[in-house]
Structure 1
Amino acid sequence: MTDPDEPESLESSAAQLTAWLMALVRNRQYGDLAQLRRVTAGSSARYRAGWLAADQEKREVYEQVAFLFAVYHRGVRIPTPGYGSFGVAARRIGPPTARGPEDPGATRLVDRIVSGRRIPWRHLHHGVARLRSCEQQPPSWTRLVVDLGQWNDRKARVADRWAVDFHEPQVLRRTVRQKGSST
């Protein structure tokens, strides 16, 4: 049996959650998705999301990410697994002329998210809603589960990584991609 605290185990169970959530959209299970969007009440769909956690102490992370997924996918027919960290995704927030760090609202949102010791669920909800309204890809749902599962791990430094991902200059980003593709 694998240790639920190991990153591989967390990643594997997070990928199972993403696959299950995407299947809900593909199979048009709108009732389950609606249950996941209900903040105040427990539901069978929410409990199922929590059961996928390899470590039951991380149930809340799974249930809340399922909520964020359902918020993003409201009325959507084709599911998206998303990509990148929340910091990378937040770079896509804002009008086409000023996204990410160039958008004051996106900058304030990321600052609020990365400054807290506790997981900032309300601000993450706002960020996912902004991505949806800007018609931009969400963060990788699998990575979001992994990152939030390690939120309080000082060695993982999740909030710091998200801030770096968000504020990384475009020039540096292009240079790193070009070097990575040539090797």
Structure 2
Amino acid sequence: MTDRTGADSPTGENSAALTAWLASLVHNNDNASLAELRRPRVQREPHFRALWYSPTEAQREIYGQVAFLFAVYHQGRAKPDYGYGSLGEAARRIGGGAVRGPDDPGAARLVDRIVSSRRVPWRHLQHAVARLRSCDRHPPSWARLVDDLSFWHDRKARISYEWGAAFYMPPTRTAPSTAAADLEKDSHA
């Protein structure tokens, strides 16, 4: 796999493997491991297992934190949700009724805080995942979240810009079937 700058990178394979392992915890009802992952200050075996998937030492924090976010989202859930889209696309699903995404003032403020941060905004990402969970909406793709956060500081990748654009851009007029499919997915969540 190549990264966002064109160089060879194992990131995609590793993030997919992390997601598969996390999903297996939900699928196998391993609530004890998921609970351990939700305790960020206490590092036990599940936390270290999440770090095993990191291709570099520099990315360990990202893998550990995304495992934490996954566990927060899946608390009390019986089926794993692999999510889809970027965090910006997922944030468009925050809200209720006809007021979602950019039309929801809380979601707009949250995305503004996330995309304006120079450092990875872990606390705001946790809030976004918690909002998606409380709205019963699909999360972002966990594997893509790992990959995006791995390039957070890469100016060429422009992750925060991409997330902001995905959140604020109006739906395209040429793909009404895609928008309907997204609404259908969300209604079955």
TM-score using structure 1 length: 0.91
Pair 1:136-2:142 in alignment: no
How far did residue 178 of structure 1 move?
6.5
Give the match's secondary structure for 1:153.
coil
- In structure 1, C-alpha distance between the alignment counterparts of 2:128 and 2:164, rounded to whole Å: 14
Matched residue, 2:182: none
How far did residue 34 of structure 1 move?
0.3
Matched residue, 2:99: 98
Counterparts of residues 42-121 of structure 1 (less than 5 Å): 42-121=43-122
Gaps of 5+ in 2: 179-189
Matched residue, 1:175: 174
Letter in 1 for 2:28: N
Gaps of 5+ in 1: none
Give the match's secondary structure for 2:55.
coil
- In structure 2, C-alpha distance between the alignment counterparts of 1:122 and 1:143, rounded to whole Å: 19
Higher helix fraction (1 or 2): 1
Over 2 Å off, 4+ runs = 5-8, 176-179
How far did residue 129 of structure 1 move?
0.2
- In structure 1, C-alpha distance between the alignment counterparts of 2:59 and 2:122, rounded to whole Å: 14
Give the match's secondary structure for 1:175.
coil
For 1:123-168, what per-residue CA distance to the aligned partner results, in whole angstroms no more than 9, with x for missing partners?
0000000000000000000000000010001110000000000001
CA change 1:164–1:18 in 2 (3 A) is: same
Matched residue, 2:37: 36
- In structure 2, C-alpha distance between the alignment counterparts of 1:110 and 1:166, rounded to whole Å: 8
Give the match's secondary structure for 1:15.
helix
- In structure 2, C-alpha distance between the alignment counterparts of 1:146 and 1:157, rounded to whole Å: 12
CA RMSD of aligned residues (A): 1.9
- In structure 1, C-alpha distance between the alignment counterparts of 2:177 and 2:98, rounded to whole Å: 24
Matched residue, 2:20: 19
- In structure 2, C-alpha distance between the alignment counterparts of 1:147 and 1:176, rounded to whole Å: 25
TM-score using structure 2 length: 0.88
Letter in 2 for 1:123: H
